[in-house]
Amino acid sequence: MIPFLHIGSFAIPTFGMMVACAMIAAYFVLRADLFRRGIASKDSGEAEALISFPCVAGFLGAKLYHLLESPAEFFADPLHLLFSPYGFAWFGGLLAGFATFAFVAWRITRHNAAIGRPVSLLTVFDAGSPAAALGYGIGRIGCLLSGDGDYGIPTGLPWGMSFPNGLVPTVERVHPTPIYEFIAACAIAWWLWKLGAPDDTAAAETKPNSRRRDSALSSRKPGEVFAAYLVLTGVARFLVEFIRINPRTFLGMSNAQTAAAFSMIVGAFLWTWVRAKG
């Protein structure tokens, strides 16, 4: 594996490089979805805000969550661990990133309502779902390149990989779980994009300069795409955790697996509630 790319005296972490690629890819998908839903123009800057602020908050949340998992170790050497390029917890990043995305999305709905172009918060969540799925998948390639310990248990399958030069090295052939998640995330992103596509009939009846919002161009109710995202990504993460080396904590599940189960439950509840609203 290649944890760092060395260019002269500079060392570029491949994980950080792939996270940057994930942000860029997510930005373009989100910008296109906001535009096709009539929420924001492509030069409005709203897609940038919905990507940049949650990503920064996600990094901070992932770092703090990881540090607070072992408070004794953190307080023994706080400065070194706080500014170390290693040690990020997926669950902490998820909580901080989602909360920040929700806040920025709420501000967008307030702004649109003030200028007479109302849009629901769930519709913004719908628009962000394909981008979130794709960005997550690309980010996992960073885990693969760096060999940071996100791989799986030993396997005899022909595509098993070893990570002798990884940040968390292993010479055993193990499940390349980041690749599994990348494939699943790309498939989920594609399906969510198709799920939220404008309805041809509704689009034909809408004038080019119309300010209709929410589900005016889609047969889907606001919140359906987001609910599907919660369920599908939850299922993918829940299943892959069975072959990952993460420690088990709650009812024999890892922290990530517990969060994935919660995501599936919330997504199923949201889907049922949105459909029942009629």
Cα separation, 39 vs 196, whole angstroms: 14
The answer, yes or no, to whether residue 178 has pLDDT greater than 50, is: yes
* Tokens read off for 192: 């969510």
In the prediction, which pLDDT does 161 show? 95
Q: Could you tell me which residues are beta bridge partners of residue 170?
A: 163
Instruction: Determine the pLDDT at residue 241.
Output: 92
| pLDDT at site 209 | 43
Does residue 88 or residue 251 have the better pLDDT? 251
pLDDT in tens, 50-76: 999 999 998 888 888 778 777 777 677
Q: Where are the alpha helices (DSSP H) in the chain?
A: 14-36, 46-69, 71-76, 78-82, 90-114, 121-146, 177-195, 200-205, 224-240, 255-277
The mean pLDDT of 157-182, rounded to a whole number, is 94
Asked if residue 170 lies in contact with residue 163, where contact means CB atoms within 8 angstroms, the answer is yes
The mean of the pLDDT values for the chain is 86
Q: In this model, does residue 186 exceed pLDDT 90?
A: yes
Average pLDDT of the residues in 149-173: 92
**pLDDT reading at 258 higher than 70:** yes
Question: Quick one: pLDDT at residue 79?
Answer: 77
* Mean pLDDT value across residues 120-134: 96
Confidence of residue 203 (pLDDT cuts 50, 70, 90): very low
Structural contact between residues 87 and 103, judged by C-beta atoms closer than 8 angstroms: no
Residue 30 or residue 201, greater confidence: 30
Provide mean pLDDT across the span 123-132: 96
**Region of poorest pLDDT, from 58-67, 83-92, 207-216, 242-251:** 207-216
Residue 270 pLDDT greater than 80, yes or no: yes
